[in-house]
Amino acid sequence: MADLLRVHNLSIEYASSRGVVKAVDEVSFSIGKGEIFGLAGESGCGKSTTAFGICRLLRHPAKITGGSVQLAGTELMALSDEEFDRLRWSKMSIVLQSAMNNLNPVLKIRDQLADTILAHEPDARKEVHQRAEHLMRLVDLPVDRLDSYPHELSGGMRQRVVIAMAMALKPSLVIMDEPTTALDVVVQNGIIRKIMELQKEFGFSILFITHDLPLMLEMCDRIGIMYAGKLVEVTAREQILHEPRHPYTQGLLNSFPSLSGPKPRLAGIPGHTPDLIRPPAGCRFYPRCSQAVSQCQTLQPTLLQDKWGQIACHLYSEEGLSREQASAARE
Ligand code: SF4
Ligand code: MG
């Protein structure tokens, strides 16, 4: 599969009163054309910050301190704000958790959709209302809702409008950060089904972010697991479902009862995520890891590629145990 998005060594920091927080630390991954890629991890692990960095929505004091983000070969970090604005919505669109962050409260839905289209296609003026109607149908909303203001719609309807807007210019990548988290389960299911339907129809790639691991495992082709600002494992959905490798991934899976049948007691992961101002010198998961080996405390594992995907853990690196030894050590 050809890569559409390539993120290489992306680092994001922000200053706090106690010091510099390394929120995202040299994160690298790629997303193929038409692929649904998920970023998972506990809150505060850096997954949303990564997404915001990619689409240049970081707010002061957060800033990108290094790395590269390429979309279809274009280096996004090198674009001026103007150039980036041209690309936003047309090549890459964004669906955030709260639709109100995407929608302008004082504009009717019709005008928001029209403005988005016309900002990129000024010649579309004649057909713009027709296109807005088509977009409403695409997300199963009644066309007469085009004349509503955002506050006159339910949360689920607003999120559908945002998805319609994200589709308006047929982007190749849609970034979705917790797109259904604020909604109740029934509404959430309907929207996820709709997203999957649209993805099949138009073939765009998705960077999907959620703390809801079961949902992620249902939707995504490949998944990146983040821990304390680091990407610790990237692998196919099946691999994570059937043989999670990284000790943190295993712990995360054990926190969800429905994934691998009934469990007498939810294991969870004891301890807390580390302070990102002074992260542990070795593996960031070391203080919570029950499988740590001698070098874990002092030596940071690097993300290595093997035939199962990418993994950053001494149990799977040359200095550590082989995969077979690691799996024997777990038994
Ligand atoms: Fe555990 Fe060591 Fe692997 Fe970190 S590198 S997850 S401490 S085994
Ligand atoms: Mg978040």
**Residues 193-197: what's their mean pLDDT?**
96
Q: Supply the pLDDT for residue 320.
A: 45
Burial class (CB in 10 A: 0-12, 13-18, 19+), 130: exposed
Using the structure block, give the residue that is written with the tokens 């691999």.
Answer: 239
Instruction: Establish whether residue 292 lines the binding site of ligand 1, counting it when its CB lies within 6 angstroms of any ligand atom.
Output: yes
Rounded CA separation 226/53 (Å): 15
pLDDT tens-digit map of 275-319: 999 999 999 999 999 999 989 999 999 999 988 899 999 999 764
What is the Å distance from ligand 1's center to 44 Cα? 20
Ligand whose nearest atom lies closest to the CA of 210:
2
CA distances from 245 to 27, 160, 253, 262, 312 (A): 19, 36, 11, 20, 10
Give the helix ranges, DSSP H, for 181-322. 185-202, 213-219, 237-242, 247-254
Instruction: Establish whether residue 247 lines the binding site of ligand 1, counting it when its CB lies within 6 angstroms of any ligand atom.
Output: yes
What is the Å distance from ligand 1's center to 317 Cα? 10
Residue 264 backbone phi and psi in degrees, to 5: -60, -35
Ligand whose nearest atom lies closest to the CA of 233:
1
pLDDT tens-digit map of 253-273: 888 765 555 554 556 788 888
What is the Å distance from ligand 2's center to 259 Cα? 22
Residue nearest to atom 3 of ligand 1 (CA): 313
Helix (H) or strand (E) holding 12: strand 3-16
**Residues 241-249: what's their mean pLDDT?**
93
Rounded CA separation 71/87 (Å): 10
SS3 186: helix
Residue nearest to atom 5 of ligand 1 (CA): 313
Those residues whose beta carbon sits under 5 angstroms from the ion ligand 2 are 48
**Residues 201-225: what's their mean pLDDT?**
95
Number of H helices, E strands in the chain: 11, 12
**Positive or negative torsion for Cα 324, 225, 282, 272:** negative
Q: Supply the pLDDT for residue 127.
A: 97
Mean pLDDT of all residues belonging to the chain: 91
pTM of the model: 0.92
ipTM of this complex: 0.97
